[in-house]
Amino acid sequence: MRRYLDVFRRGFWENVRFALESIREHKLRAGLTTLGIVVGVTTVMGMVAIVSGFNNNVIGNLQAFGANRIEFKKYEESFASGDSDYDEQKKRHNLTMEDAEALRAAVPEALAVSALVAHTDAVLHVKHGNLEANMPYTLGVDDWYPQGTSYNVGHGRFFTPAEIAHSAPVAIVGADVKDAIFPLEDPVGKDITVDGAHYRVVGVLARKGEQFGWSPDNKVVLPYGTFARQFPFRILEDGVHISVVPRRSEDLRLVVDKCVSVLRQRRKVPFNKPNDFGVTTPDQLISQFKQITGGITGAMVFIAALSLLIGGVGVMNIMLVSVTERTREIGVRKALGALRRDIIGQFLTEAVTLSCLGGVIGVAIGIGISALIKANVPALPTDIPLWSPVVGLAVSMGVGIFFGAYPAVKASRLDPIEALRYE
């Protein structure tokens, strides 16, 4: 058995040596032939890097959002809502603080139920002295905000119950706002203005980091009543957003069902009608993520397949040319006792070597492009998993085997006498 393995090993490496010599003799031809393989494998690597990066980013965002957090809003959470959907949703009744209180009372499986209102669609002027924050947004929150979300105070403190109850002029700033208007000093105890209204800073939120080109750290948080006094139109227009966190992750579906039932009863939704409010769960976020990456993946797979097809046809053509050029060589080998499998092995090895060379170059370029994107475009996360270079090389090897099989078989079928006569 070992003798056969040794013979096979020697024959294999001899074929590889012949293949490399042939490539060296025809560098330009080999380079043009592998170009399609290089483009295809580079595209595969890029696709894997982008999809994997997005996947990791979404997982991180889900953790930031709260892996078990459920949100109830007036509007549906959707990336592609038509005008008719928006117009219908705009006519819905707002969710209220009373709805949040009803959920706290009716759903004991909920660890926390918090309500907030956001002001995000206008330029707010948040200043301290001569410094101004870069277009932050503002939230009005209740005393359940830290428990109902994953946002915690990193420095200072949260609002006291008295500050929330009496709509005190106090504020908590995000890390980006702190960096913009308090770059060299502690903001706690200092005053800021939000569109001209004065507030005392009592805390700074722990930094979350950028998510899909959007920063959750660029915000100012106010007590709900304080927010309602300055921005009453936001509450009238959109109502509150309610966040619910189950006590146990396995109770997620139960909590969703109970909350939906309570809200439908309070809003008098008929049993045969759909919800007149939006529900956002982690599963829904994952589904929306798949809608985004699905289109990207499909387009890139098509481009990669087209490039690999072109590259494979190029490999087949060049191997057919090689068979024609080396007809006499094949005749000599057969006359000396070479079997059909020896000829097939020689030419198939050459095709695979040519394809793998393109695969190695494509993998290297793909890794380089991914690193450049990651370094220069933070909004487009990329990540190269350890298995992706293996996949790239495997795909290129498969192309070599598939498109090299026909020329190899054709070479093995040549009649040695006719081959020796070939000019």
Q: How far is CA 201 from CA 161, 185, 190, in A?
A: 16, 12, 6
d(CA 152, CA 187): 16
Q: Tens digits of per-residue pLDDT, 271-323?
A: 888 888 888 887 776 676 667 666 766 777 777 777 778 778 888 887 787 77
Whole-number pLDDT of residue 283? 72
Whole-number pLDDT of residue 348? 82
Whole-number pLDDT of residue 138? 92
Whole-number pLDDT of residue 200? 96
Q: For 74-88, 247-261, 351-365, which range has the lowest pLDDT when averaged over its residues?
A: 74-88
Q: How confident is the model at residue 420 (pLDDT cuts 50, 70, 90)?
A: low
Q: Would you state the structure tokens that stand for residue 1, as one six-digit string?
A: 């058995």
Whole-number pLDDT of residue 8? 42
What phi and psi, each to the nearest 5 degrees, are found at residue 206? -65, 140
* 81 has pLDDT over 50: no
Whole-number pLDDT of residue 7? 40
145: buried, middle or exposed (CB in 10 Å: 19+, 13-18, 0-12)?
A: buried
| Residue 218 neighbours by CB under 8 Å, 6+ apart | 133, 134, 135, 136, 137, 174, 176, 177
CB–CB of 326/408 below 8 Å? no
CB–CB of 218/177 below 8 Å? yes
- For 115-124, what is the mean pLDDT? 81
Whole-number pLDDT of residue 162? 93
Average pLDDT over all residues of the chain: 80
Helices and strands in the chain, H and E counts: 15, 12
Does the predicted TM-score (pTM) go above 0.85? no
Q: Tens digits of per-residue pLDDT, 215-226?
A: 788 999 999 999
Q: Specify which residues 241 forms β-bridges with.
A: 116
